[in-house]
Structure 1
Amino acid sequence: MAAKIDHIVFDIGKVLIHYDPNLPYSRIIPDEAERQWFFANVCTHEWNLEQDRGRKWEDAEALLIADHPAHADNIHAFRTYWHEMVPHAYDGSVAIMEGLIGKGRDVTMLTNFAADTFVQARKMFPFLDKPRGVTVSGEIGLIKPDVAIYEKHARDFGLTPEATIFIDDSYPNVEGARAAGWQAVHFKDPETLRKDLIAHGIDI
């Protein structure tokens, strides 16, 4: 039988707030095939992930511009227009999180996020200040699904792993939490999350 849940940990991107790099780039690179090429070969997911691991944007941009000088403006645009990539919150998920906090549940957040864009996100979405705290990958040089980031979060916030449940839209990140001894659910939408939490004995 699963342990009683004492700690609830939320991912942020695509769980609490929407994220889509295509939003500004559909304007910057209107041709869809060209835009897909750009994301597959220049500002790739793997390149962006290194900013989540702590690499500075200036270094990240310089690295790409050295290899793709003709795309310098479009490379700079990734950071310049980042705020357009996170246009709104997922109100249903935020309501669940705020409801749990209102009931006195212990809620924290664990996110893959560049340090400076997270500062910006906090200004855009004040509800990110409501949980007890957050571990931001870009601030500590660790990234999901590395087991070490879950272990650090548990140590820093005094969480009992088997009594902790993690919510993430990325299945590898869910598996990383389970490898650290946590319980975890794969986020699909707010209604499914509500059902998953109730199934784990959490009153919503």
Structure 2
Amino acid sequence: MSVEAVVFDIGNVLIEWQPERHYDATIGEARRRDMFARVDLHEINDRVDRGAPFRQTIEEAAERYPDFESEILMWYHEWIHMAQPEIPHSVRILRALRAKGVPVFALSNFGIESFEFAETKYPFLTEFDRRYISGHMGCVKPHALIYEMVEADCGIAAQGLLFADDRQENIDAAANRGWQTHLFTGPDGLADRLVKEGLLSAEQAR
């Protein structure tokens, strides 16, 4: 079936998301490793992605782990430094698809407040035809429900959706519902896939 819409993950597809890299640069790798071994910051962030209040969730975690209080608070106060930079070629691809009239959607595990903040730093986040942000949906990838919610809202059959994500489990969950998928390992590979699908010319996908 031909592709009717391209669905983009955001983190590590359009914007680099590397909290560990920021912590290594600010508190040192040894301290970061110790903290991550004792505090599951990614699980805490998952709560934010499911719709929990960003600042409150991080502050409560900091109170529970006083040995790392200041470092945990960095997850909130320095969050934008963990979510950078944008991936320019991916953004060009997004805009090339829109210029061709191909519908583009976002499907991302992202908190409500953090996404609103990201919009102020990355204007392209406002350019999607539809945005499916987990914090607003109360459900995260790779749960099947979030893909079902996308299908129900956009009205496109699963087979007409091409989904690009950097995590295999998210790709697998989409494929299980019949979506076409692309495991993102870099923008060149995505560009090649879109050219193969006939959605962009090689020049447009550069």
TM-score in terms of structure 1 length? 0.91
Counterpart-to-counterpart distance in 2, 1:146 and 1:67? 28
2:175 maps to 1:178: yes
Question: 95-104 or 188-197: which moved more?
Answer: 188-197
2:4 maps to 1:6: yes
Counterpart-to-counterpart distance in 1, 2:78 and 2:176? 36
Tell me if the contact between 1:145 and 1:173 (Cα under 8 Å) persists in the aligned partners.
Answer: yes
Q: What's the offset of the Cα at 1:89?
A: 1.0
Cα deviation digits, residues 39-81 of structure 1 (max 9, x gap): 2322522221221111223442354234312222211111000
Counterpart-to-counterpart distance in 2, 1:156 and 1:37? 43
Counterpart amino acid of residue 10 in structure 1:
F
- Which structure 1 residue ranges, 5 or more long, are not aligned? none
Report the counterpart of residue 83 of structure 1 in structure 2. Answer: 80
Counterpart amino acid of residue 42 in structure 1:
V
TM-score in terms of structure 2 length? 0.91
Counterpart amino acid of residue 188 in structure 1:
T
Distance 1:180 1:77, change over 3 A: same
Tell me if the contact between 1:7 and 1:165 (Cα under 8 Å) persists in the aligned partners.
Answer: yes
2:8 maps to 1:17: no
Cα deviation digits, residues 88-147 of structure 1 (max 9, x gap): 211111111100100001111100001101001111010111110201001111000111
Counterpart-to-counterpart distance in 2, 1:45 and 1:128? 23
Identity among equivalent positions (%) equals 32
Counterpart-to-counterpart distance in 1, 2:43 and 2:130? 27
Tell me if the contact between 2:96 and 2:200 (Cα under 8 Å) persists in the aligned partners.
Answer: no
Secondary structure at the counterpart of residue 5 of structure 1:
coil
2:34 maps to 1:34: no
Report the counterpart of residue 68 of structure 1 in structure 2. Answer: 65
Give runs of ≥4 in structure 1 deviating > 4 Å. Answer: none
2:43 maps to 1:46: yes
Tell me if the contact between 1:23 and 1:84 (Cα under 8 Å) persists in the aligned partners.
Answer: no
Counterpart amino acid of residue 35 in structure 1:
R
Counterpart amino acid of residue 64 in structure 1:
A
Matching residue within 92, 98, 101 for 1:101: 98
Counterpart-to-counterpart distance in 2, 1:78 and 1:66? 14
Counterpart-to-counterpart distance in 2, 1:52 and 1:170? 16
Tell me if the contact between 1:19 and 1:85 (Cα under 8 Å) persists in the aligned partners.
Answer: yes
2:107 maps to 1:110: yes
Q: What's the offset of the Cα at 1:22?
A: 3.0
Q: What's the offset of the Cα at 1:27?
A: 4.5
Counterpart-to-counterpart distance in 1, 2:62 and 2:122? 32
Distance 1:114 1:58, change over 3 A: same
Distance 1:147 1:82, change over 3 A: same
Tell me if the contact between 1:110 and 1:134 (Cα under 8 Å) persists in the aligned partners.
Answer: yes
- Which structure 2 residue ranges, 5 or more long, are not aligned? 202-206
Tell me if the contact between 2:98 and 2:104 (Cα under 8 Å) persists in the aligned partners.
Answer: yes
Counterpart amino acid of residue 18 in structure 2:
D
Tell me if the contact between 2:162 and 2:179 (Cα under 8 Å) persists in the aligned partners.
Answer: yes
